[in-house]
Amino acid sequence: AAQDGSTFRIGAHATYPLNGDWEKKSLGYGAQVVWQLGDSAFLELSGTVLKDEWTKDSVLEADTEVDLPGDIEDYANQYSDSSQADRAISEGNALSGDTKIADLDMVHIAITLGFEFELSDALKAYAGGGINYNTFDVSYDERDLIQAAGYDPSYADYLGVANVKVNIDIDPAIGFHGCVGCELALGEGFQLFAEYRYVMINKISGKTEFSGSYGGYSYSNSIEGEDKMKTGFARAGVNF
Protein backbone atom coordinates (compact mmCIF):
# COMPACT_ATOMS: atom_id res chain seq x y z
CA ALA A 1 0.00 0.00 0.00
CA ALA A 2 1.20 3.52 -0.71
CA GLN A 3 2.02 5.88 2.10
CA ASP A 4 3.26 8.97 0.22
CA GLY A 5 0.03 9.96 -1.51
CA SER A 6 0.52 8.04 -4.73
CA THR A 7 -2.33 5.77 -5.82
CA PHE A 8 -0.37 3.15 -7.76
CA ARG A 9 2.64 1.02 -6.81
CA ILE A 10 4.46 -1.98 -8.21
CA GLY A 11 6.88 -4.25 -6.41
CA ALA A 12 8.37 -7.68 -5.88
CA HIS A 13 8.34 -10.16 -3.03
CA ALA A 14 9.78 -13.41 -1.74
CA THR A 15 7.72 -16.03 0.06
CA TYR A 16 8.38 -19.05 2.26
CA PRO A 17 5.87 -21.70 3.46
CA LEU A 18 5.50 -21.85 7.23
CA ASN A 19 2.85 -24.54 7.67
CA GLY A 20 0.36 -26.65 5.78
CA ASP A 21 0.49 -29.06 2.86
CA TRP A 22 4.14 -28.95 1.78
CA GLU A 23 6.56 -31.86 1.43
CA LYS A 24 9.65 -29.67 1.12
CA LYS A 25 9.67 -25.99 1.97
CA SER A 26 11.54 -23.75 -0.46
CA LEU A 27 11.76 -20.05 -1.26
CA GLY A 28 9.23 -18.68 -3.74
CA TYR A 29 9.01 -15.38 -5.55
CA GLY A 30 6.52 -13.03 -7.13
CA ALA A 31 5.41 -9.51 -8.03
CA GLN A 32 2.50 -7.28 -7.15
CA VAL A 33 0.58 -4.18 -8.23
CA VAL A 34 -1.06 -2.06 -5.51
CA TRP A 35 -3.80 0.55 -5.81
CA GLN A 36 -4.38 2.89 -2.85
CA LEU A 37 -8.08 3.35 -2.05
CA GLY A 38 -8.18 6.47 0.07
CA ASP A 39 -6.16 6.85 3.26
CA SER A 40 -6.78 3.45 4.85
CA ALA A 41 -7.50 0.82 2.22
CA PHE A 42 -5.77 -0.75 -0.76
CA LEU A 43 -6.33 -3.32 -3.46
CA GLU A 44 -3.48 -5.62 -4.51
CA LEU A 45 -3.08 -7.94 -7.49
CA SER A 46 -0.19 -10.35 -6.97
CA GLY A 47 1.33 -13.39 -8.58
CA THR A 48 3.54 -15.85 -6.70
CA VAL A 49 5.43 -18.97 -7.79
CA LEU A 50 5.70 -21.67 -5.11
CA LYS A 51 7.64 -24.91 -5.47
CA ASP A 52 7.35 -28.30 -3.80
CA GLU A 53 8.68 -31.84 -4.17
CA TRP A 54 6.63 -35.04 -4.13
CA THR A 55 8.11 -38.13 -2.54
CA LYS A 56 7.08 -41.73 -3.09
CA ASP A 57 5.07 -41.79 0.15
CA SER A 58 3.30 -38.49 -0.47
CA VAL A 59 2.15 -39.52 -3.95
CA LEU A 60 1.08 -43.07 -3.10
CA GLU A 61 -0.85 -41.89 -0.03
CA ALA A 62 -2.59 -39.00 -1.79
CA ASP A 63 -6.18 -39.07 -3.01
CA THR A 64 -4.83 -38.72 -6.55
CA GLU A 65 -2.87 -41.92 -5.98
CA VAL A 66 -0.24 -42.79 -8.55
CA ASP A 67 -0.35 -46.50 -9.21
CA LEU A 68 0.21 -48.70 -12.20
CA PRO A 69 -2.77 -50.65 -13.52
CA GLY A 70 -3.11 -54.20 -12.32
CA ASP A 71 -3.03 -55.24 -15.97
CA ILE A 72 0.76 -55.05 -15.91
CA GLU A 73 0.99 -57.60 -13.14
CA ASP A 74 -1.54 -59.81 -14.94
CA TYR A 75 0.49 -59.69 -18.16
CA ALA A 76 3.70 -60.36 -16.28
CA ASN A 77 2.27 -63.44 -14.59
CA GLN A 78 0.53 -64.72 -17.70
CA TYR A 79 3.36 -64.37 -20.19
CA SER A 80 6.51 -64.76 -18.13
CA ASP A 81 8.19 -66.87 -15.50
CA SER A 82 6.34 -66.18 -12.25
CA SER A 83 9.52 -65.88 -10.17
CA GLN A 84 10.89 -63.24 -12.54
CA ALA A 85 7.57 -61.41 -12.51
CA ASP A 86 7.46 -61.44 -8.71
CA ARG A 87 11.00 -60.12 -8.60
CA ALA A 88 10.22 -57.34 -11.05
CA ILE A 89 7.22 -56.26 -8.99
CA SER A 90 8.75 -56.58 -5.53
CA GLU A 91 12.20 -55.13 -6.14
CA GLY A 92 10.72 -51.78 -7.07
CA ASN A 93 9.65 -51.43 -3.45
CA ALA A 94 13.29 -50.89 -2.54
CA LEU A 95 12.73 -47.25 -3.51
CA SER A 96 12.67 -45.41 -0.17
CA GLY A 97 9.56 -43.50 0.81
CA ASP A 98 11.31 -40.15 1.00
CA THR A 99 12.79 -40.38 -2.51
CA LYS A 100 11.79 -37.43 -4.70
CA ILE A 101 9.81 -38.56 -7.72
CA ALA A 102 8.19 -35.32 -8.93
CA ASP A 103 8.41 -31.54 -8.76
CA LEU A 104 5.38 -29.29 -8.34
CA ASP A 105 5.20 -25.65 -9.45
CA MET A 106 2.21 -23.74 -8.11
CA VAL A 107 1.30 -20.29 -9.48
CA HIS A 108 -0.79 -18.34 -6.96
CA ILE A 109 -2.62 -15.30 -8.42
CA ALA A 110 -4.44 -13.31 -5.77
CA ILE A 111 -6.65 -10.23 -5.42
CA THR A 112 -6.51 -8.81 -1.90
CA LEU A 113 -8.50 -6.02 -0.29
CA GLY A 114 -6.62 -4.65 2.72
CA PHE A 115 -7.26 -2.12 5.47
CA GLU A 116 -4.44 -0.17 7.11
CA PHE A 117 -3.93 1.06 10.66
CA GLU A 118 -1.38 3.79 11.29
CA LEU A 119 1.13 3.03 14.03
CA SER A 120 3.47 5.96 13.36
CA ASP A 121 4.31 8.36 10.56
CA ALA A 122 6.30 5.66 8.77
CA LEU A 123 4.80 2.42 10.06
CA LYS A 124 1.40 0.88 9.37
CA ALA A 125 -0.21 -2.46 10.16
CA TYR A 126 -2.77 -3.99 7.83
CA ALA A 127 -5.19 -6.87 7.52
CA GLY A 128 -7.11 -8.13 4.55
CA GLY A 129 -8.36 -11.00 2.49
CA GLY A 130 -9.48 -12.01 -0.95
CA ILE A 131 -9.80 -14.62 -3.64
CA ASN A 132 -7.06 -16.48 -5.50
CA TYR A 133 -6.62 -18.56 -8.66
CA ASN A 134 -4.05 -21.35 -8.62
CA THR A 135 -2.44 -23.45 -11.33
CA PHE A 136 -0.31 -26.56 -10.84
CA ASP A 137 2.39 -28.05 -13.05
CA VAL A 138 3.94 -31.44 -12.24
CA SER A 139 7.27 -32.52 -13.76
CA TYR A 140 8.60 -36.05 -13.34
CA ASP A 141 10.50 -38.95 -14.81
CA GLU A 142 8.10 -41.71 -15.86
CA ARG A 143 10.52 -44.41 -14.71
CA ASP A 144 10.61 -42.88 -11.22
CA LEU A 145 6.82 -43.14 -11.04
CA ILE A 146 6.95 -46.72 -12.29
CA GLN A 147 9.44 -47.64 -9.59
CA ALA A 148 7.47 -45.76 -6.94
CA ALA A 149 4.46 -47.90 -7.81
CA GLY A 150 6.47 -51.02 -7.01
CA TYR A 151 8.01 -52.07 -10.32
CA ASP A 152 11.73 -52.43 -10.88
CA PRO A 153 12.80 -50.34 -13.90
CA SER A 154 15.68 -52.75 -14.56
CA TYR A 155 13.00 -55.22 -15.73
CA ALA A 156 11.23 -52.60 -17.85
CA ASP A 157 12.03 -54.24 -21.16
CA TYR A 158 11.17 -57.69 -19.83
CA LEU A 159 7.72 -56.62 -18.64
CA GLY A 160 7.00 -54.08 -21.35
CA VAL A 161 6.95 -51.38 -18.66
CA ALA A 162 9.23 -49.25 -20.84
CA ASN A 163 6.21 -48.55 -23.04
CA VAL A 164 4.22 -47.05 -20.19
CA LYS A 165 3.20 -43.43 -20.64
CA VAL A 166 2.18 -41.45 -17.60
CA ASN A 167 0.35 -38.13 -17.54
CA ILE A 168 -0.47 -36.24 -14.34
CA ASP A 169 -2.86 -33.33 -14.76
CA ILE A 170 -4.08 -31.10 -11.93
CA ASP A 171 -6.91 -28.69 -12.71
CA PRO A 172 -6.68 -24.99 -11.79
CA ALA A 173 -8.38 -24.23 -8.49
CA ILE A 174 -9.94 -21.20 -6.82
CA GLY A 175 -9.31 -20.47 -3.16
CA PHE A 176 -9.61 -17.81 -0.50
CA HIS A 177 -7.02 -16.19 1.72
CA GLY A 178 -6.55 -13.86 4.66
CA CYS A 179 -3.48 -11.88 5.63
CA VAL A 180 -1.97 -9.63 8.29
CA GLY A 181 1.19 -7.60 7.95
CA CYS A 182 3.04 -4.34 8.40
CA GLU A 183 4.58 -1.78 6.04
CA LEU A 184 7.44 0.61 6.58
CA ALA A 185 7.91 3.74 4.45
CA LEU A 186 11.58 4.40 3.67
CA GLY A 187 11.29 7.64 1.75
CA GLU A 188 12.07 8.28 -1.90
CA GLY A 189 8.93 6.35 -2.77
CA PHE A 190 10.14 3.00 -1.38
CA GLN A 191 8.29 0.84 1.10
CA LEU A 192 9.07 -2.49 2.76
CA PHE A 193 6.40 -4.93 3.87
CA ALA A 194 6.19 -8.24 5.72
CA GLU A 195 3.09 -10.43 5.83
CA TYR A 196 1.61 -13.73 6.92
CA ARG A 197 -0.92 -15.15 4.46
CA TYR A 198 -3.19 -18.15 4.99
CA VAL A 199 -4.63 -19.83 1.89
CA MET A 200 -7.57 -22.25 1.75
CA ILE A 201 -8.39 -24.21 -1.41
CA ASN A 202 -11.39 -26.44 -0.80
CA LYS A 203 -11.22 -28.51 -3.98
CA ILE A 204 -8.27 -29.53 -6.14
CA SER A 205 -9.09 -32.08 -8.83
CA GLY A 206 -6.47 -34.24 -10.50
CA LYS A 207 -6.18 -37.09 -12.94
CA THR A 208 -3.39 -39.59 -13.54
CA GLU A 209 -3.49 -41.47 -16.85
CA PHE A 210 -1.47 -44.54 -17.82
CA SER A 211 -1.15 -46.26 -21.16
CA GLY A 212 1.24 -48.78 -22.61
CA SER A 213 1.64 -52.14 -24.24
CA TYR A 214 2.96 -55.61 -23.53
CA GLY A 215 3.82 -57.54 -26.66
CA GLY A 216 0.78 -57.30 -28.86
CA TYR A 217 -1.45 -56.23 -26.00
CA SER A 218 -2.22 -52.65 -24.97
CA TYR A 219 -3.72 -51.27 -21.80
CA SER A 220 -4.79 -47.96 -20.34
CA ASN A 221 -5.96 -46.79 -16.97
CA SER A 222 -6.79 -43.54 -15.26
CA ILE A 223 -7.24 -42.49 -11.66
CA GLU A 224 -9.15 -39.36 -10.66
CA GLY A 225 -9.11 -37.75 -7.25
CA GLU A 226 -9.82 -34.64 -5.24
CA ASP A 227 -7.97 -33.01 -2.42
CA LYS A 228 -7.89 -29.82 -0.35
CA MET A 229 -5.06 -27.47 0.44
CA LYS A 230 -4.54 -25.30 3.50
CA THR A 231 -1.26 -23.51 3.86
CA GLY A 232 0.31 -20.48 5.47
CA PHE A 233 3.34 -18.64 4.19
CA ALA A 234 5.41 -15.58 4.98
CA ARG A 235 5.72 -12.88 2.35
CA ALA A 236 8.20 -10.00 2.38
CA GLY A 237 9.05 -7.48 -0.30
CA VAL A 238 9.29 -3.94 -1.54
CA ASN A 239 6.95 -1.53 -3.32
CA PHE A 240 7.95 1.63 -5.17
Predicted local distance difference test score (pLDDT) of residue 220: 75
Rounded to whole angstroms, the Cα distance separating 32 from 126 reads 16
* 164 band by pLDDT with thresholds 50, 70 and 90: low
Rounded to whole angstroms, the Cα distance separating 131 from 200 reads 10
Phi, psi angles (nearest 5°) of residue 216: -90, 5
| Residue 86 pLDDT > 60 | no
| Residue 80 pLDDT > 60 | no
Predicted local distance difference test score (pLDDT) of residue 179: 98
Q: What is the pTM of this model?
A: 0.78
* 49 band by pLDDT with thresholds 50, 70 and 90: very high
Predicted local distance difference test score (pLDDT) of residue 88: 44
Rounded to whole angstroms, the Cα distance separating 239 from 61 reads 41
Q: What is the mean pLDDT of residues 59-69?
A: 43
Predicted local distance difference test score (pLDDT) of residue 224: 83
Contacts of 93 (CB under 8 A, 6+ apart): 150
* 7 band by pLDDT with thresholds 50, 70 and 90: confident
Residue 40: exposed, middle, or buried by beta-carbon count in 10 A (0-12, 13-18, 19+)? Answer: middle
Phi, psi angles (nearest 5°) of residue 199: -115, 135
